[in-house]
């Protein structure tokens, strides 16, 4: 079996230069071996996706536990026919 250490092809896939050696042995030892640097970015993206999925699940669970939100914050419009008094502005029990 040929194990290529260098292979240069032109745009038409013609071999311009090749360096190889012959190997006789188990095939599991002759494949491409990835190191940590070559797979680091993929692992980081998987980790981030897992973290975001976990946070989304937590948020959905918390929202389900709280129940639907009620919009009680309706904008109250002042009546234009009534004058604004100091008592109206300072009274904590206003309607």
Q: Which two tokens stand for residue 19?
A: 């360096």
- Total number of domains in the chain: 2
pLDDT in tens, 85-94: 888 888 877 6
pLDDT in tens, 52-80: 999 999 999 998 888 766 655 566 777 78
- Kindly state whether residue 43 falls inside one of the protein's structural domains: yes
- Kindly state whether residue 76 falls inside one of the protein's structural domains: no
Asked if 15 and 28 sit in the same domain, the reply is yes
pTM: 0.37
Domain of residue 56: give its range: 35-66
Rounded CA-CA distance 64/86 in Å is 44
Neighbour tally for 9: CB within 10 Å: 11
Q: Are 22 and 1 in contact (CB under 8 A)?
A: yes
């Amino acid at each position: 079996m040929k194990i290529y250490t260098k292979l240069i092809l032109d745009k038409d896939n013609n071999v311009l230069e090749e360096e190889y050696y012959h190997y006789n042995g188990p095939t599991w030892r002759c494949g491409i071996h990835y190191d940590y640097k070559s797979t680091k970015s993929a692992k980081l993206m998987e980790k981030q996706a897992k973290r975001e999925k976990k946070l989304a699940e937590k948020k959905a669970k918390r929202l389900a536990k709280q129940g639907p939100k009620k919009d009680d914050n309706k904008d109250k419009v002042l009546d234009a026919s009534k004058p604004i008094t100091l008592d109206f502005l300072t009274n904590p029990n206003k309607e």
